[in-house]
């Protein structure tokens, strides 16, 4: 039995399990237990705590949805706009797979705040939102020897004097775009 056969059988099992769980959930929600659960949830949402929970959920809905879809949250967007103020329109803004320490208690488990890369004017900007936001400005001319490592999936920045981060995890397409914008002319 090869590895692909094992993966194929596990995927088939997961699909059958999801289908069965959906059928069970449909039967339970159609029965008396589903009606009781709906009425209990309605009662909870009518209480003061339930209204506060709804307000909290509405406030964090944007954050969770944007994180799930890989987009900037509203706070990250405001920080990026503050950093880009007075600069020309960025050539590119992309999410990296790298993280930076931004001083939040849960960062030690999640690895830090998500880093966003922007190429604007004559600078490469690295931004991560948090209690202590991470903002780095690296001049483009000091990045001439940068390259994309296809094996590790990292953009390796040239030895810039003021760069705290040397390696950024990005997709091959994003890495190629940054290298092209820096001026290497290729990978």
List, for residues 108-132, the tens digit of each pLDDT value: 566 678 899 999 888 889 999 888 8
pLDDT score of 41: 73
* Domain residue spans of the chain: 3-69, 74-182
* pLDDT tens-digit series, residues 80-90: 999 999 988 99
Pick 28 or 5 by higher pLDDT. 5
* pLDDT tens-digit series, residues 23-41: 776 776 777 766 777 777 7
Segment 72-95 mean pLDDT: 90
Helix or strand holding residue 16 (H, E): helix 3-30
CB burial string 13-49: b at 16+ within 10 A, e below: eeeeeeeeeeeeeeeeeeeeeeeeeeeeeeeeeeeee
Secondary structure (3-state) at 114: strand
Q: Tokens in use for 116?
A: 């966003």
Backbone angles phi, psi at 39, to 5 degrees: -70, -35
* pLDDT tens-digit series, residues 133-159: 999 888 888 888 888 888 888 888 886
pLDDT score of 186: 38
CATH class of 74-182: mainly beta
- Rounded Cα–Cα distance for residues 134 and 147 (Å): 23
Judged against a pLDDT cut of 80, whether residue 99 lies above it is answered with: yes
pTM recorded for the entire structure: 0.64
């Amino acid at each position: 039995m090869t590895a692909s056969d094992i993966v194929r059988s596990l995927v088939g099992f997961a699909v059958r399990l999801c289908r069965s769980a959906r059928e069970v959930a449909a039967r339970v929600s159609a029965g008396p237990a589903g009606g009781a659960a709906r009425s209990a949830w309605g009662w909870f949402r009518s209480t003061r705590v339930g209204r506060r929970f709804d307000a909290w959920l509405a406030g964090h809905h944007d954050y969770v949805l944007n994180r799930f879809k890989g987009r900037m949250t509203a706070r990250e967007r405001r920080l990026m706009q503050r950093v880009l103020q007075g600069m020309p329109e960025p050539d590119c803004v992309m999410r990296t797979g790298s993280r930076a320490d931004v001083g939040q208690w849960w960062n030690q488990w999640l690895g830090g705040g998500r880093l966003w890369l922007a190429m604007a004017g004559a600078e490469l900007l690295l931004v991560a939102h948090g209690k202590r936001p991470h903002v780095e400005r690296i001049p483009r001319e000091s990045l001439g020897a940068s390259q994309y490592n296809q094996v590790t999936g990292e953009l390796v920045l040239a030895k810039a004097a003021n760069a705290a981060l040397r390696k950024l995890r990005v997709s091959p397409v994003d890495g190629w775009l940054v290298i092209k914008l820096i001026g290497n002319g290729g990978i």
